[in-house]
Structure 1
Amino acid sequence: MKTPRIAAGLLLLASCAAHAADWSDTSLSYRYGSKFSEPYNGADIVKHVVNFSHVSGYKYGKNFFSVDYLISDENDPSAVGSRSGAHEAYAVYRHTLDLGKVTGRAMAFGPVRGVGVTAGFDINSKTDAGYNSKKRMLVLGPTLMFDVPGFLDVSLLALHESNAPYNGFTQTATDRYRYDTHAMLTAAWGIPFMLGVPLSFEGYANYIGTKGRNEFGGPTAVEINVDMQLMYDLSAAVGAAKNTFKVGLEYQYWKNKFGNPARTVPGATARTPMVRAEYHF
């Protein structure tokens, strides 16, 4: 089955579920960091990132959609010889079907409150001097939902990924290349707590297996991507409803970015502190 057809089906499922949403949260956010990194680029890169996210729950599960728009400085140029920075859009969609709600049978055990199946996709498009990524990825696998304040979901997903980059240095295009299907162990969480003021610990962590040879015949490496945020809910201080305005600090550790081995590829590991602000509606 073709990737666009599967993606269209998942979008249709998301649309149907959204009409019957029991709850939802939509947000706009901004984050800034000066220590971003890109494979084959050894420089520290400044990026401004604007994000739109939506999460909703309905009778049988939940949906999550997020799109980042990333704007780099001149250290990640938009074209060969350009003084302007690259632009990238990266979209993620996940749908988790709660098997206990579907079957009407409790599936809790130990610290786990529920079991589900997660499906979705990643799509990106970047305009830069070198790679010009056009990633397409489908994901599918089981999810454990833990009984914690807020949420903690852990999934083991199969990834079916492809790309069709364009090299700006050599001006050559690569036909869409499909990597080996590979696994990702992933966790996503949002844990509220009080420490004199309302705070939350949020983020995700991905451990991604190797995906065979890349489109140029080189090896790929295990990828680790951890993104953590400590957020302060300042809504009460400005007379707004709870969880309307948040500000905080974020840190991302990304080793072997996109599967590029850091031992041979400069810039393949990023350690990026950021500041973050969110508006929820």
Structure 2
Amino acid sequence: MIQQFSKCTAAIALLAAGMGAAHAADWSDTSISYRYGTQFAEPYNPVDITKHIVNLSHASGYKYGTNFFSADMLFSDKNDPSAAGSKTGAHEVYVLYRHTLDLGKVSGQELKGPGIRGYGLTAGFDMNTKTDAGYNSKKRMLVAGPTVMFDVPGFLNVSLLALWESNAPYSTFTHTGVNRYDYKVHPMLNAVWLIPLSNSVPLTFEGFANFIGKKGNDEFGGKTARETNIDMQIMYDMSGAVGAGKNTFKVGVEYQYWKNKFGNNANGFAGSGAFAKTPMIRAEYHF
């Protein structure tokens, strides 16, 4: 892992730049949200799982770029048990951070093109911890790569990122664990967007899409699969109905399509649990 971290020097430098500039934000948006669904899925688990998810997110922009932070707290029902034989559901925390450096703003030049607002460099990290019985994920991942910012109402950013990922799971079923294991460096094509759908009705189309390449063998020697994770929402700004400022309270519906979840092959031993097709309801408070 030390070698892989050394390959991410540029990513760490961008993160430091972003965090150092956070106090000088030109704009910011912090939100707390809740979402709920009954058809979540986990690899090697054939049954539907109900989850309640609470999220804290923060986005901000400063002179040379943007920052985004997200922390999900996920609470499963008993179909995703917290330990072998347990009747209580697992808990998970998943944290993500991204910093995008706007190359046009840094250079003082207009780096634009037809349909393109600008170009950037994105870096960040993901990490999680989960108390489930079967795997007990301890994911750690650094990401870095170029970003294209498209000129659309709202925003649409597309990035091609390299992923340096590792994990150190422990199974309470078999009482065995694995020392931290590094997957092969692998690519991800990532898109994030928020696009207004109407000038007269406060509806937005929001979400992200990740198309992730194979990451070599997993920690148990099995081959990993290409992964697709698309999460999209239609959100309605109901702030006016409750006398609040624009984009304070939003409600809507969400759908997640996640094939070969975490690189597990849904056509292999991981089974149907590695292919999530999950409708959700969602509510947000922005401040």
For the superposition of Structure 1 and Structure 2, which TM-score range results when normalised by the shorter chain? over 0.9
Partner of residue 232, structure 2: 228
Distance (Å, rounded) in 2 between the aligned partners of 1:193 and 1:214:
41
- Tell me, yes or no, if structure 1 residue 272 matches structure 2 residue 275: no
Partner of residue 261, structure 2: 257
| TM-score, length of structure 1 as denominator length | 0.97
- Tell me, yes or no, if structure 1 residue 18 matches structure 2 residue 22: yes
Q: Trace 1:65-144 onto structure 2 (pairs within 5 A).
A: 65-144=69-148
Q: Trace 1:162-177 onto structure 2 (pairs within 5 A).
A: 162-177=166-181
Per-residue deviation at 1:129? 0.6
Paired letter, 2:208: Y
Structure 1 spans left out of the alignment, 5+ residues: none
Distance (Å, rounded) in 2 between the aligned partners of 1:112 and 1:11:
24
Partner of residue 27, structure 1: 31
- The number of residue pairs the alignment matches comes to 281
Paired letter, 1:20: A
- Tell me, yes or no, if structure 1 residue 181 matches structure 2 residue 185: yes
Deviations 1:78-124 (A, max 9, x none): 00000000000000000000000000111101111100000000000
Per-residue deviation at 1:14? 3.5
RMSD, aligned CA:
1.6
**Alignment check: 8 A CA contact 2:15 2:123 kept:** no
Distance (Å, rounded) in 2 between the aligned partners of 1:10 and 1:123:
18
What secondary structure is seen at the aligned counterpart in 2 of 1:194?
coil
Deviations 1:180-208 (A, max 9, x none): 00000010000123275210000000000
Distance (Å, rounded) in 1 between the aligned partners of 2:30 and 2:184:
35
Structure 1 runs (4+) deviating above 3 angstroms are 1-14
Partner of residue 190, structure 1: 194
Paired letter, 1:159: L
Identity %: 68
Alpha carbons of structure 1 residues 8 and 69: separation in structure 2 relative to 1, 3 Å: farther
Per-residue deviation at 1:173? 1.3
- Tell me, yes or no, if structure 1 residue 208 matches structure 2 residue 212: yes
Per-residue deviation at 1:141? 0.2
Distance (Å, rounded) in 1 between the aligned partners of 2:263 and 2:283:
30
Distance (Å, rounded) in 1 between the aligned partners of 2:244 and 2:100:
31
- Tell me, yes or no, if structure 1 residue 239 matches structure 2 residue 243: yes
Per-residue deviation at 1:10? 6.1
**Alignment check: 8 A CA contact 2:186 2:215 kept:** yes
Structure 2 spans left out of the alignment, 5+ residues: none
Alpha carbons of structure 1 residues 196 and 103: separation in structure 2 relative to 1, 3 Å: closer
Paired letter, 1:99: L
Distance (Å, rounded) in 1 between the aligned partners of 2:71 and 2:14:
16
